[in-house]
Amino acid sequence: MNRLRRFLAGFHARPVAAWEWLVMRCLFAGVVWLSMPRASDQIYSSQDAPNGIAHWVDLTFLAGPGVYPALQAVVAIALVLYAAGLLLPAVLPLLLVSHVMVRTLFNSQGWIHHGVQMVSLVLLAQTAVVLTLAGYRLLKGRRLELRPGTTPASYLLFYSQMAVVSLYVVSVFSKVDRSDGLWFAKSHYVGLHVVKAERDRYHAALEPPGPGDVPAARLVLAHPNLSRLFLGAGVALEFFAFLALRGRLWALGVGLGLIGFHRCIAALMTIHFHFNEMLLAIFLINVPYWTARASGRLPGVGGTAPEPAASSA
Amino acid sequence: MSRRLLGKVAPLGIFVALTALCLALKENFPFTHYPMYSDFSDQSYYVWIGDAEGEPIAIQNLTGLRTGRIKKVYNNGLQAVRAEVRRQTGSAPRKRDLTAEQRRAPGGETLAWLVGAAPDGALPALRAASPLRLYQVDITIDRGRVVESEPLSIAEFAVP
């Protein structure tokens, strides 16, 4: 019982170096910018299949003359401020609303694209943290007392990680729910979808190899238990992704595992989740930290050293 | 209480709440429950776009729109037809049991959507290929092997 209690108590924000959070902010600002439509992309002037806030808000104003370029300029300035760590209680809600509006309009065209939800959810998580901290200070007239050794950046990172891993856990429940619990039993049918993905790839660009045998699909269908084992490992990885919240080493392991998982899916089915992979690399793997740690320039940061006294935000 | 909220009680509780929220809200941006490939089936289909001669067009190269996205639009149309049949008869046919006639309208709407969503620069090439045709290929597993049907012409659309 005590071990379980200790295990459960291990899910919390941890100390983060200022430079480390600066690197993450800069990289995440880049991801947000890349995940916005380009100036040359068509901004839809209708929302025939409303999704999310489009049920209540007409987002087609974004397609008006000069509106999207203006929004892009605002987002660019906001991202510079975000990367610099300035005015976060104002900048993060602005970025969140902008990203959600634009991407909701894109997802209101009769098809749902699943590549950028994670970016918006991380913005939502960070917005919730900064507004909670700012709201507390406003209401109580003092800063919120944080865990010993932590700073607001610790919470921004922790809840960003939570937004990332929660989507992997969600997908596991969807598999169980939508397949009536038969996902594993039917998982070797992935062979059919491998062929379908290959045909989609071919018809997108008519590049060789043309329609023909797909060895990976043949292998999967010929060895259903092997494919169940392989796909089962992927699902287990998704389910246990929440362990990334237990500390840096867990986050590193989960992050590397999930990127490997995405690479396998990309190789097998030509389905890419570039932004998910970027967020895993930034918030879970955190190469700059481990590089600095390996070179011995980061003594103590990471939760292994005794935690200093409580700080406030 | 506030310190506990952010420090002790909250983390796992918020994680569970966020996960439950995504499951409950399903597809409402930015929330998603990632439904793709959550139920593998032994039958499916894919679509491709052909020109007036029935030859495939490299549609993504031309328009930037993936065939998977085109299929989603077409699939939504088929679902709408199923819902309409259910409303009229009390039971909805499976997608694979829809007649060619029932598929034609969603197919035509998909092609119209494709032309509307394509960048202006792609329109001359689309006009040259007009009328565009939407083809569907059914794909199933039979005795451990993938079997594909002959392409079925669903609908055509003259590009204005």
Residue of A111, A179, A219, A246 to mutate, testing the B interface (most B Cβ within 10 Å of its Cβ): A111
CB A95 within 8 A of CB A32: yes
Contact A217 B23 (CB under 8 A): no
Over residues B7-31, mean pLDDT: 87
> How far away is chain A from the Cα of B35, in angstroms, using its nearest Cα?
6
> Tell me: the pLDDT tens digits for B99-155?
889 999 999 999 999 998 888 889 999 999 999 999 999 999 888 888 899 999 999
Q: What is the pLDDT of residue A305?
A: 38
ipTM of the complex: 0.86
- Chain A residues whose CB is inside 8 A of the B33 CB are 170-171, 173-174
The reply to whether residue A117 touches residue B30, judged by beta carbons under 8 angstroms, is: yes
Residue type, B18: L
pTM for the full model?
Answer: 0.86
> What is the pLDDT of chain B when averaged over all its residues?
88
Selected residue with higher pLDDT from B16 and A6? B16
CA proximity to B61, closest of A198, A202, A38: A202
Helix (H, G, I), strand (E, B) or coil at A313: coil
Could you list the pLDDT tens digit for every one of the 313 residues in chain A? Answer: 678 878 888 899 999 999 999 999 999 999 999 999 988 787 888 898 899 999 999 999 999 999 999 999 999 999 999 999 999 999 999 999 999 999 999 999 887 889 999 999 999 999 999 999 999 999 999 998 888 889 999 999 999 999 999 999 999 999 988 888 888 888 888 888 888 888 888 888 888 766 677 788 888 888 888 888 888 899 999 999 999 999 999 999 999 999 999 999 888 888 889 999 999 999 999 998 888 888 877 654 544 433 434 454 5
Q: Is B29 close to A214, i.e. CB distance below 8 A?
A: no
Q: Do A178 and B35 touch (CB under 8 A)?
A: yes
Q: Which chain B residues touch A222 with a CB distance below 8 Å?
A: 144
Give the sign of the dihedral formed by CA B113, CA B114, CA B119, CA B123: negative
Question: Rounded distance, CA A114 to CA B35, Å?
Answer: 9
Using CA atoms, how far apart are residues A233 and A261, in angstroms rounded to an integer? 9
Chain A residues with CB-CB distance to B45 below 8 A: 196
DSSP letter for A114, please. -
Number of H helices, E strands in chain A: 13, 2
Distance from CA of A120 to the nearest CA of B (A): 6
Q: Do A199 and B137 touch (CB under 8 A)?
A: yes
**Cis peptide preceding A93, ω within 30 of 0:** no
The whole-number average pLDDT for the span B30-57 is: 90
What 3-state class would DSSP assign to A312? Answer: strand
Q: Which residues of B touch A217 (CB under 8 A)?
A: 146
Q: How many CB atoms lie within 10 A of CB A73?
A: 10
DSSP A201: H
> How many Cβ atoms from other residues are within 10 Å of residue A207's Cβ?
10
Instruction: Please state the rounded mean pLDDT for residues B66-93.
Output: 89
Cα A218 from Cα A221, distance rounded (Å): 5
* B141: closest chain A residue by CA: A192
Find the closest chain A residue to B41 by CA distance.
A189
Cβ–Cβ gap B141/A53 under 8 Å? no
- Quote the CA–CA distance of A118 and B34 in Å, as a whole number: 11
Using a CB-CB cut-off of 8 Å, the residues of chain B touching A175 are 37-39
Spatial distance between the Cα atoms of A167 and A119, rounded to a whole number of angstroms:
11
Indicate yes or no: CB of B30 within 8 angstroms of CB of A100: yes
B46 and A186 within 8 Å at the Cβ level: the answer is no
Residue-level pLDDT at A310: 43
- The pLDDT value recorded for residue A308 is 39
Q: Do B44 and A162 touch (CB under 8 A)?
A: no
> Counting one residue from A and one from B, how many pairs have CB atoms under 8 Å apart?
196
In chain A, residues with a C-beta closer than 8 Å to the C-beta of B49 are 203
CA distance A293 to chain B (A): 26
Nearest by CB to residue B139, choosing from A110, A140, A196, is: A196
Q: What is the 3-state secondary structure (H, E, C) of chain B?
A: CHHHHHHCCHHHHHHHHHHHHHHHHCCECCECCCCCCCCCCCEEEEEEEECCCCCECCHHHHHCCCHHHHHHHHHHHHHHHHHHHHHHHCCCCCHHHCCHHHHHHHHHHHHHHHHHHCCHHHHHHHHHHCCEEEEEEEEEEECCEEEECCCEEEEEECCC
Residue B6 has pLDDT above 80, yes or no: no
Nearest in space to B148 (alpha carbons), one of A210, A211, A203: A211
pLDDT of residue A102: 96
> Do β-strands B132-142 and B145-148 pair in parallel, antiparallel, or remain unpaired?
antiparallel
Q: Tokens standing for B98? A: 């829809």
